[in-house]
Amino acid sequence: MYLEAAGKHVVVDTSPDFRSQVLAFKIPRVDALVFTHSHADHILGFDDIRRFNTLQGCIVPAYGSPDTIADMNRIFDYIHHEHPPGVYRPRVEFHEVTAPFEIGGGIKVEPLAVPHARKTTYGYRFEADGRKMGYFPDCHVLPEETIARLQGLDVMILDALRRKPHSTHLSLDESVSALKRVGAGKSFITHMGHDFDHDQIQRELPPSMYVSYDGLKLEW
């Protein structure tokens, strides 16, 4: 996910197709990275951050749970090595977060742990310029205390892998139930399997709930 707010450009997770997404949607810069967790489909495009380092001439801050940051340091250990001129690597400053923090002094970010995998997985509540959004792409349950923290959102984006129950993701019915309880102005399901038919699922969703898709842009 790419978020532009308070004059900053934030990327949440660097998927394996990060480079092609950046080129396709003409992402101009990356001021900060935020990671939900360290599964391959959320981090393996990380190396392409190095191009933004070159263009912007700066180190990019990156935020995640202690588990996630430990995995990033292990998987991409080469970023800490010295390299000769002409050899590029991502230049980031990792920050372990367990409590609310700010990006650029204008974006408030609250990490909220959710059940998904053996190690810590976060969803995030973002707030900037009076606008509020929740982003929870991978979770098996949306806990009651988390739902309480998400009241009053303008937009909520939530995992909905498939129709049948799954051991690490919300099913469609579970996701719709959780979204109703959050009660955002607009809600979107994401992280869907290929067995979903976009138009059919959209017809089934309640008002103000939508099926997301690649390239979806929201402005508010």
| The pLDDT value given to residue 84 | 74
Give the tens place of pLDDT for each residue, 157-214: 999 999 999 999 999 999 999 999 999 999 999 999 998 999 999 999 999 999 999 9
Tell me if 126 sits within 8 A of 132, measured CB to CB. yes
Distance from chain centroid for Cα 220:
19
| Mean pLDDT of all residues in 117-129 | 95
Give 3-7 contacts, CB < 8 A, sequence gap 24+: 3/107, 3/126, 3/133, 5/106, 5/107, 5/126, 5/128, 5/129, 5/131, 6/104, 6/105, 6/106, 6/107, 6/128, 6/129, 7/104, 7/106
Q: What are phi and psi of 154, to 5 degrees?
A: -80, -40
CB-CB neighbours of 83 under 10 Å: 10
Lowest-confidence region among 72-76, 88-92, 197-201: 88-92
CATH architecture designation of domain 105-212: 4-Layer Sandwich (3.60)
| The pLDDT value given to residue 54 | 94
Tell me if 160 sits within 8 A of 192, measured CB to CB. yes
Report whether pLDDT(85) > 90.
no
| Tokens encoding 179 | 């979204």
**Which of the listed CATH numbers 1.20.1260.10, 3.60.15.10, 1.20.910.10, 1.10.3720.10 matches domain 1-96?**
3.60.15.10
Task: Note the pTM of the prediction, 2 decimals.
Answer: 0.95
Which residue's structure tokens are 């138009």? 199
Tell me if 89 sits within 8 A of 78, measured CB to CB. yes
| The pLDDT value given to residue 21 | 95
Of 69, 50, 45, residue with least CA distance to 60:
50
Domain borders along the chain are: 1-96, 105-212
CB-CB neighbours of 99 under 10 Å: 6
pLDDT band at 117 (very low <50, low <70, confident <90, very high): confident
